[in-house]
Chains A and B, each alone.
Chain A
């Protein structure tokens, strides 16, 4: 092997990236050529210097405790939330169900029926007005408005999804 070929592969040899034959050829050349051996030693020294310098970086006092405190405090909150959402107690479920069902029961009251009937009448008038108005808008405009509405809807669904993902409960559960 010539020195030029050796220089080309010197770093790959140091990094163990050569195949068996190339490695043998390099080892053979290095054992005979003092100039290439010096270059190889320089590379080895750089590696040793880096390791030696990093291994001696002083550790800040109390770092372990600070890290452990932050790890466990964060995780405790997450675990409580996960337990709460995963296995809700009977009375919590009861309260939640009554909160959801109570408004439905109220709908049966005669006053609610009257209010609903009034609302229905008004919504019909409102719907009729919208229909007349939409007839007056040029088709291209109404198409554009429809598309814009779809885009806004898509964007808001994306943001809601992102928000849900950011909730810690999800992180703990995933």
Chain B
């Protein structure tokens, strides 16, 4: 994610135009992250909305603008984890992806769908650890704190998630690689 600290400072001071610019800049990351966690369009939209409402309310309390990136990332992660915990989202069909996707190259789009479908098939514990590490870039210790589990459990869950994903993406044991 790219950050514009001048815009963040203005938004923090109550400038609504700056806040709108902040929403515009970060919406793709927030929505896509939420979708990766919950795999349902309405749920992801609600999560994105929740994230920005919380941001609007709590941004004035942020002391250091430089702390915004990690603070905002945690706000997003916590909202997504809460959604994942609350709803039975893992069992919902992934039809929204297929419905929205307009592939420019059919095979690439199909591959992307396969990867997303594989992430969706992971159970909640494995999906959240995998996304926090591979997509959001948290280290083991940060994930352990976010989820309230030991670092050893983070490692073992991450290992299982990666193994399962590898199997699903490469069921016949063929060499990996994009189409």
Contacts and interface: CB of A to CB of B under 8 A. Distances in A.
Interface of A: 11-12, 15-17, 38, 41-43, 45-47, 49-60, 63-64, 66-68, 70-72, 74-75, 171-172
Contacts of A72: 16
Nearest to B103: A56
A46 B166 CA distance: 7
Nearest to A51: B135
A58 B102 contact: yes
The 7 lowest CB-CB distance pairs between A and B, nearest first, are A53-B115, A45-B176, A58-B100, A57-B32, A53-B112, A50-B134, A54-B36
Given A50-B131, A54-B36, A71-B52, 5 more contacts: A42-B166, A46-B166, A54-B32, A72-B16, A74-B53
A60 B45 contact: yes
Nearest to B161: A46
Contacts of B32: 54-55, 57, 59
A133 to B, nearest CB: 51
Interface stretch (B2-10, B20-28, B70-78): B20-28
23 contacts: A11-B158, A42-B170, A46-B162, A46-B169, A49-B111, A53-B115, A57-B32, A57-B35, A57-B36, A57-B116, A58-B100, A58-B101, A63-B27, A67-B27, A70-B49, A71-B23, A71-B49, A71-B52, A71-B53, A71-B56, A74-B53, A75-B56, A172-B57
Contacts of A11: 155, 158-159, 162
Contacts of B33: 54
B176 A42 contact: yes
A60 B35 CA distance: 11
A63 B165 contact: no
A39 to B, nearest CB: 10
Contacts of B101: 58
A47 B178 CA distance: 12
A104 B169 CA distance: 79
Contact of B31 (A53, A56, A57): A57
Nearest to A42: B176
Interface in B92-108: 97, 100-102
B177 interface: yes
B130 interface: yes
A43 B169 CA distance: 12
Contacts of B15: none
